[in-house]
């Protein structure tokens, strides 16, 4: 899919910049800011595609995290807001998808590829609902060490207007939604959203479908937390559930199980190398991901970058 290719290419460039971080951090920060600007520029040119998952539930995709939209007379519920520059296209897609006034935007977690559009969606009449850590992180400057990113606090209009701790429930448009906080996984702000009647589960960035996931160690993420989040989602999903990952195509429980098994196998291999006393670099040189790289190694992280994150967060 072209949008995903663009997204991956962009993040690959971010990765290349990050590897220069140790040499020239001041230069890197400027470059990283430029990369956010480039993402916004790409998002401005990328159309939003709409895929029907259920009568009144749609997948919206562009640049940035996968979005979902529930329509109906009780008000529209949007999950994640992509980049600010994508919002005109998102609002257009929302209008075309079906009836209902603006109601609520839900954020799966705080990362900018899922929340940069918050302010504009809020201005269009949506309140913003998220885990309390999403609001806390958006309210203050953040760093994403792995990409060498320093991000300012989000503007006031982009902040969640309502937050919850462990769980929240919504009954709207003929369906019931569970919003539940994962223990720290990809970040410490991750939630899943489960549409019971539609049989759809959005798991945010606890799942990258088809490639090694980014795990944000600067925000409390860890390989063990990711695997535990996958187990939680697998316990909720049935064989017919459509599962929306943060990035990549919608998949099934079997697809998520495969991702979980790959992460678990790599975690075990890297843990064994670390236990032998190998440094992060020495562990990566042993190529513990080799058997998976042909399928999983073509996403936003190189195999060595992924091994580094696994090593550091075990």
Minimum distance from residue 8 beta carbon to Zn ion (Å): 12
- State CA 101 to chain mean position distance: 26
According to CB under 5 A, which one of 107, 130, 205, 221 is a site residue for Zn ion? 205
Residue with tokens 């967060």: 313
Nearer to Zn ion, 175 or 205 (CB): 205
Q: Please state the length of the chain.
A: 314
Nearer to Zn ion, 50 or 218 (CB): 218
According to CB under 5 A, which one of 72, 246, 251, 299 is a site residue for Zn ion? 246
Residue with tokens 């009568």: 55
Taking contact as CB under 5 A, which single stretch among the options 61-69, 77-85, 97-105, 127-135 is the one that binds Zn ion?
A: 61-69
- Which tokens belong to 82? 């992509």
| 137 contacts Zn ion (rule: CB under 5 A) | no
Instruction: Give the number of other CB atoms < 10 A from CB of residue 290.
Output: 11
Give the DSSP letter of residue 42: H
Taking contact as CB under 5 A, which single stretch among the options 199-207, 232-240, 252-260, 270-278 is the one that binds Zn ion?
A: 199-207
Give the DSSP letter of residue 155: P
Residues from 248 through 277 that contact Zn ion (CB under 5 A): none
C-alpha–C-alpha distance, residues 263 and 7, integer Å: 22
Nearer to Zn ion, 188 or 205 (CB): 205
Query: Does residue 67 sit in helix, strand or coil?
Result: strand
In the shown chain, the binding pattern of residues 15 to 54 toward Zn ion, with x for contact by CB under 5 A and - for none, equals ----------------------------------------
Minimum distance from residue 209 beta carbon to Zn ion (Å): 12
Q: Per-residue DSSP letters for 274-300?
A: HHTT--HHHHHHT-TTHHHHHHHSSSS
Nearer to Zn ion, 112 or 311 (CB): 112
Nearer to Zn ion, 64 or 89 (CB): 64
Q: Per-residue DSSP letters for 200-264?
A: EEE-GGG-BTTSPPP--GGGT--HHHHHHHHHHHHHH--TT-EEE-SBS--B-HHHHHHHHHHHH
| 111 contacts Zn ion (rule: CB under 5 A) | yes
| 299 contacts Zn ion (rule: CB under 5 A) | no
Nearer to Zn ion, 110 or 168 (CB): 110
Using alpha carbons, select from 294, 286, 293 the residue that is nearest to residue 269. 286
- State CA 166 to chain mean position distance: 19
Taking contact as CB under 5 A, which single stretch among the options 71-79, 200-208, 268-276, 279-287 is the one that binds Zn ion?
A: 200-208
C-alpha–C-alpha distance, residues 56 and 43, integer Å: 25
Nearer to Zn ion, 59 or 283 (CB): 59
According to CB under 5 A, which one of 11, 18, 65, 117 is a site residue for Zn ion? 65
Radius of gyration of the chain (CA): 19
Nearer to Zn ion, 83 or 168 (CB): 83
Interface residues toward Zn ion, by CB under 5 A: 65, 111, 113, 205, 246
């Amino acid at each position: 899919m072209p949008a995903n290719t663009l997204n991956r290419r962009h993040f690959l460039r971010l990765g290349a910049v990050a590897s220069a971080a140790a040499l020239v951090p001041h230069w890197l920060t400027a470059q990283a800011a430029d990369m956010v600007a480039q993402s916004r520029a790409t998002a401005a040119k990328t159309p939003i595609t709409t895929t029907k998952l259920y009568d009144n539930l749609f997948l919206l995709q562009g640049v940035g995290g996968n979005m979902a939209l529930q329509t109906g007379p009780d008000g529209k519920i949007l999950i994640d807001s992509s980049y600010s520059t994508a919002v005109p296209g998102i609002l257009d897609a929302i209008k075309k998808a079906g009836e209902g006034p603006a109601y609520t935007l839900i954020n799966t977690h705080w990362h900018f590829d899922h929340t940069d559009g918050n302010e504009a969606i809020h201005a269009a009449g949506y309140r913003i609902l998220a885990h309390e850590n999403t609001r806390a992180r958006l309210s203050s400057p953040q760093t994403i060490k792995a990409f060498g990113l320093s991000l300012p606090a989000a503007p006031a209009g982009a902040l969640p207007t309502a937050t919850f701790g462990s769980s929240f429930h919504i009954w709207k448009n003929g369906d019931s939604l569970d919003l539940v906080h994962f223990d720290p996984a990809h970040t410490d702000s991750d939630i899943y959203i489960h549409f019971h009647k539609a049989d759809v589960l959005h798991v945010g960035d606890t799942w990258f479908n088809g490639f090694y996931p980014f795990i944000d160690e600067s925000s409390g993420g860890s390989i063990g937390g990711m695997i535990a989040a996958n187990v939680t989602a697998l316990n909720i999903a049935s064989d017919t559930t459509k599962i929306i990952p943060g990035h990549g195509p919608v998949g099934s429980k079997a697809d998520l199980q495969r991702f979980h098994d790959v992460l678990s196998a790599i975690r075990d291999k890297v843990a064994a190398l670390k236990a032998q006393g190998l440094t992060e670099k020495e562990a990566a040189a042993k190529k513990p991901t080799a058997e998976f790289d042909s399928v999983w190694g073509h996403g936003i992280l190189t195999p060595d970058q992924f091994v580094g994150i696994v090593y550091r967060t075990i």
